[in-house]
Amino acid sequence: MVMMAHWARARVIAVDIAADKFDACRDAGADAVVDASAGNVAEALLELTGGAGVDAAVDFVSATSTLEAGAAALGPRGRLVTLGGAGQPFQASSMAMLNKELDLLGSRYVTRREIIDCLELAARGEIWPIVTDIRTLEEAEAVHERVEKGEVIGRAALRID
């Protein structure tokens, strides 16, 4: 997502709790990173945007704390999109939603056209997959556990021999 947002010429701020992922985020195009393990994510995002808030927050974790921080960091007409993860309930300010005209959305899939467009970008070398963990099919359960723990920096792939 960082790479796609950078490709679209957005200012990209990556947020994570694992400091070992910050360099990968910068390499993928992040202009800044926020260490979520320090807390105060919304405040850090507001500071990085000069108080204006972010235009979009894309949440892959969907934990209560990440969703609430994303919603709180939105600027006027901002959009929070959750794409999976824990799917936990969270609270958002209805007053902020009204006053700022916020969108809080969920998304699970992409269209066929979007997949083709992404594959074309990859074929042209404008974006590329970041695969940092390749395992055998027999190691699928172990690699899944690493993904769930947030220990994989890019993507994990299974090699079928």
Work out the angle between the directed axes of helices 41-48 and 64-72 (0-180°, nearest 10).
Answer: 30
Would you state the pLDDT for residue 108? 85
Distance of CA 57 to the CA centre of its chain: 8
Mean pLDDT of 121-137: 95
- For residue 7, the model assigns a pLDDT of 97
pLDDT at 38 (0 to 100): 86
Topology of domain 2-127 in CATH is: Quinone Oxidoreductase; Chain A, domain 1 (3.90.180)
| Cα(17)–Cα(23) distance, integer angstroms | 13
pLDDT tens-digit readout, 20-48? 899 999 999 999 999 999 889 999 999 99
Question: What's the mean pLDDT in 139-149?
Answer: 93
Average pLDDT over residues 125-142: 95
- Look up the pTM and report it: 0.88
pLDDT-based confidence at 90, cuts 50/70/90? very high
Query: For the residues 93-118, what does the mean pLDDT come to?
Result: 95
Q: Would the pLDDT of 161 be above 90?
A: no
What average pLDDT does the segment 112-130 reach?
95
Q: Which two tokens stand for residue 67?
A: 């969703």
Q: How far is CA 13 from the centre of its chain?
A: 10
Residue 32 CA to residue 45 CA, distance in Å, equals: 10
Domain ranges in the chain are 2-127, 129-161
